[in-house]
Structure 1
Amino acid sequence: MITFADKAIAYYNALAAPTNLPPEVGVMNPYQTPDVQRIVGEFYTRFYTDTTPRIFVLGINPGRFGAGVTGISFTTPQNLRRYCGIENDLRDTPELSSRFIYQVVDAFGGAAEFYSRFFLTSLFPLALTKAGKNYNFYDDRQTTETLWPAITETVRTQTGFGYDRRVAVCLGRKNETYLRRLNDQQGFFDRIVTLDHPRYILQYKSKDMPIYLETYIATLHDCLD
């Protein structure tokens, strides 16, 4: 039996960085390092060794302090240890999105419960940078159009891991524009529901975080109905 984990591990450990990006846009590929390959193997073996379809929760592209370091979406080294039980020697990193996501994971019932139902991923799987800062694939038209075939292939390949096509959860209002464009072209999901991006919540709406957390949990449960 080929499991979700088998497919995911093979996919991530074979990822290659694009070579045709605009010259000022950098890309981080942590999956070529032995430490991250071990983490990817442990994470997916622990939480995805089955053939259960997951609901996809899709961000933009990883940040340089989250999956850009650990290879696990929205997950810093310290959250990998604290919430997922996966020890590592990677340096702890500041990542607002990971802080919020793991409050969601905890409120949902913990990592085992959350990951048994959902797959956290992104439209483009590698972290992008510009001038030493996080960069989004949609921040300039040339980068968007250059990466569009890779974005399409990312989602197409990952749905092959095992997905529930009835609904996808989109993280980020601007990201929604691009996920809907992709879905109009490819028909991956029957419907899309959108939540405010974790970074936006903690950066601009931190005082309302309990309300956003309730909204996330309610939306995720609604998707399971």
Structure 2
Amino acid sequence: MPTFADKAIAYYNTLVAPANLPPDIGVLNPYQQPEVEHIVGEFYSRFFSDPNPRVFVLGINPGRFGAGVTGISFTTPQNLRRYCGIDNDLRDTPELSSRFIYQVVEAFGGAKEFYSQFFLTSLFPLALTKSGRGTGPINYNFYDDRITTEALWPAITETVRTQINFGYNRKVAVCLGRKNETYLRRLNDQQSFFDRIVTLDHPRYILQYKTKDIPMYLERYIATLHDCITDV
């Protein structure tokens, strides 16, 4: 029987960027790089080599300094080494979301315990960028303009449809981001992937605007995640 890891590795290492985006929107596909292909294989083999279902934790789309570099959701090269024990030669990158997520992972009991219960992913699996005014590319969200959203909607639908076949708990999904919730609920209304959706504030929002309240948000994350696995 194929494991969760088998299915995830096959999926990520064959991802192709869509060709129908507006001309000023770029896509980063790290999975075409040999080192990222190796990282994906090692990460999923280490934490997902079983057929057990996971609770899906869904972000928006990767940032260019997290999964846009490593191929692992919400994970920078340095956090891949420090928390997941996976050596790599990728350049360390700044990524607020990854900093908070790995505080959550550690508070939950570490990477092995966390990933035995949860699958971190995104509605769209590749990092998006937009040309900045004299600053180079900047991070972009799939919902930042209507044309991009509608162009990617079939790919978003297929992303979630394919990934739930890795092995998922359909009773509940965790949505990261209040605005993201609008789109996940729209998708779920159309496709009935999950019985229930619970939403948490996005890690980037927490570290950018609510740093004084990080302990409260961390406690809220852990309580919500424990409620989700109790609901399984």
TM-score interval, normalised by the smaller of the two chains: over 0.9
- Measured in 1, the distance between the counterparts of 2:153 and 2:144 equals 13
Residue number in structure 2 paired with 1:98: 98
Structure 2 residue 75 is matched with structure 1 residue 70: no
Report how many residues are paired.
Answer: 225
Q: What are the Cα deviations for residues 72-126 of structure 1, in whole angstroms up to 9, with x where unaligned?
A: 0000000000000000000000000000000000000000000000000000000
- Measured in 2, the distance between the counterparts of 1:206 and 1:123 equals 26
* SS of equivalent to 2:73: coil
Residue number in structure 1 paired with 2:186: 181
Identity of aligned residues (%): 84
* SS of equivalent to 1:222: helix
> In angstroms, what is the RMSD of aligned CA positions?
0.3
Residue number in structure 2 paired with 1:18: 18
- Measured in 1, the distance between the counterparts of 2:211 and 2:157 equals 33
- Measured in 1, the distance between the counterparts of 2:86 and 2:105 equals 15
Letter in 1 for 2:70: T
Unaligned runs of 5+ in 2: 132-136
Letter in 2 for 1:96: L
- Measured in 2, the distance between the counterparts of 1:156 and 1:20 equals 20
Residue number in structure 1 paired with 2:202: 197
Letter in 1 for 2:76: T
Residue number in structure 1 paired with 2:121: 121
CA positional deviation for 1:199: 0.1
Structure 2 residue 205 is matched with structure 1 residue 211: no
- Measured in 1, the distance between the counterparts of 2:82 and 2:212 equals 24
- Measured in 1, the distance between the counterparts of 2:72 and 2:50 equals 18
Match of 1:147 among 149, 152, 168: 152
Letter in 2 for 1:193: V
Runs in 1 of length 4+ with deviation above 6 angstroms?
A: none
Residue number in structure 1 paired with 2:134: none
Unaligned runs of 5+ in 1: none
* SS of equivalent to 1:169: strand
Q: What are the Cα deviations for residues 155-194 of structure 1, in whole angstroms up to 9, with x where unaligned?
A: 0000000000000000000000000000000000000000
- Measured in 1, the distance between the counterparts of 2:2 and 2:199 equals 31
TM-score, reference length from structure 2: 0.97
CA positional deviation for 1:70: 0.0
* SS of equivalent to 1:56: strand
* SS of equivalent to 2:129: strand
